[in-house]
Structure 1
């Protein structure tokens, strides 16, 4: 079933020598994503590992992984969305770049170098928008460009890290309800439903599923774009498994 959904979304424009079998190469890419192994350790049954890594990088540069995720996630038409973030430890091999060339999405914390994944998910815990930042980035400010799918009549669920006047005002202008738990020192009171907020555990379950992919649970990629592509591929699998569970 997964292949029947993905195949129509793959790029069809081929120049020069016909490319290696898409299904075999994608299985090799997903194998590496699941195990977190080096590209060179991809089993021979998936073809040369260089074909897998070159296809992954070429389609990442062309934006195909993001387009496939967008096409799959655009089928969502619910009225509840929730946002949260999770920190990922950067592996020592990914951190071996010059200090002045260090990725803007690697932040220094007490645990070392870390990257934060921000995710907007639907009521079923399926990703709608994804973003990377440094670990010390403020959740509320980082969410500013991730909420375009929240429209009139929708509900946005978030924890206290997103409690801010700017975000609440933006949601109110759109006609959406920001059901966000207020900070203890907040003076102005906003409507809040603890029962509705309990549904927010769907975003926690999403991160739990995401970190089952070893190439995501630990960041091995030096390049931000490559790591984000891995997160997108893992999210595609999560969406496809949700389709499979309802058929």
Structure 2
């Protein structure tokens, strides 16, 4: 009889009953498969300031409050996925201009500055530059720590270009 077995039945050892997998690795099931969302905050020139990782099944606005906490800035530019009353209220309380277009089915659409919204392409350009790095585009890193490190390295390379 092998060590760790009390009988000859096949199965895993009783000492290895810990859970394994992607519970805490910001990998979640979405329509496209197992993905990780990168929630990024950039400056006006499209350079990374701060970011966080979320599982794929989470909503877009889930990690925004923690991301913008303790930072000062003049305006927030986001797409329609971030159109939430609670987020608008938090930003207005802090005196931050909200440049988020209203969703199509919103009963009371909030106005936004269309000229400032055109600057959103700097943020989109940052994500396109980030996806040039194959290890980030395909999420080959298994753990969050390594994936976070790869994003920081890629952002440093993008900043120095």
- Which TM bucket (shorter chain)? 0.7 to 0.9
4+ residue segments displaced more than 3 Å: none
CA spacing shift, 1:219–1:99, aligned 2, 3 Å: farther
2:80 pairs with 1:163: no
8 Å CA contact 1:109–1:136 kept in 2: the answer is yes
Contact 1:150-1:156 within 8 A present in 2 as well: no
CA RMSD of the aligned region, Å? 1.7
Query: Of the candidates 135, 142, 158, which is equivalent to residue 238 of structure 1?
Result: 158
Which has a greater percent of helix? 1
Match of 2:45 among 99, 124, 137: 124
> Which range is displaced more, 100-109 or 232-241?
100-109
Change (3 A) 1:110 1:176: closer
Q: Which has the larger radius of gyration?
A: 2
TM-score normalised to structure 1 length? 0.54
Alignment partner of 1:201 is 2:103 = no
Q: Would you say the 8 A contact 1:160–1:183 is kept in 2?
A: yes
Structure 2 segments unaligned to the other structure (5+ residues): 1-17
For structure 1, which runs of at least 5 residues remain unmatched after alignment?
A: 1-97, 242-247
Q: 1:4-47: per-residue Cα shift (whole Å, max 9, x none)?
A: xxxxxxxxxxxxxxxxxxxxxxxxxxxxxxxxxxxxxxxxxxxx
Structure with bigger RCO (C-alpha 8 Å, 6+ apart): 1
